[in-house]
A and B are shown apart, each in its own frame.
Chain A
């Protein structure tokens, strides 16, 4: 039982390149989230999926797209990476609105 897994763990991109961050959970949770964490700041919500088949914008969605592929998987795509997107990205999941969120180990992304 791996919980929440994220791939890759590290990635370096050049400005303008695209990539997809993958997240998978084996906890049978309904809701999944993508956050970014920048130095000196807490986590900020990018997008979330309250249930399979739905996605919604969070606090900082610009420059990102998401896909809830199935109940287990929620991917985050950067279509044209910018240096401002250098950050650590965390995926999280929860069974429902009143339950604990469980976080993955993060993906450290650098855009040069």
Chain B
């Protein structure tokens, strides 16, 4: 089945550094979503993007919906220890009235203090 191509798969950074990750797809999505998953928990929505070209911020997080509707990126500025976790992108479609999400493989973020 289809999955999105998310990169990088893992990142090891120093506290205070900026982080960038992206997601690409061979097909178009109406909505792009970015989730964060902490150990032992389910994913939690960080940012939702609804229009091609849209740039949205949520605190230190900034995400953009690509013009072609086939890609998105997420930036985290001035990383802090609580940013550690796995970040997933997801493309959303509505098919016959039902919401369908397709997830990327995830980016595991590790921060060295």
Taking beta carbons and an 8 Å cutoff, which residues of A are in contact with B? Answer: 4, 31, 40-45, 48, 50, 56, 58-60, 90, 92, 94, 96-101, 103-106
Q: A41-B3, A44-B1, A98-B99 are in contact. Are A92 and B42 (CB under 8 A)?
A: yes
CB distance from B87 to the nearest CB of A (A): 11
Residue of B nearest to A100 (CB): B45
Knowing that A31-B98, A92-B42, A98-B99 are A-B contacts, what are 6 other residue pairs whose CB atoms are under 8 Å apart, sorted by A's residue number?
A41-B105, A42-B103, A43-B43, A43-B88, A48-B100, A56-B98
Tally of contacts, chain A with chain B, CB under 8 A? 65
Main secondary structure of the interface of A (DSSP, over half): loop
Count B interface residues, CB 8 Å.
27
User: In whole angstroms, how far apart are the Cα atoms of A40 and B104 in the complex?
Assistant: 10
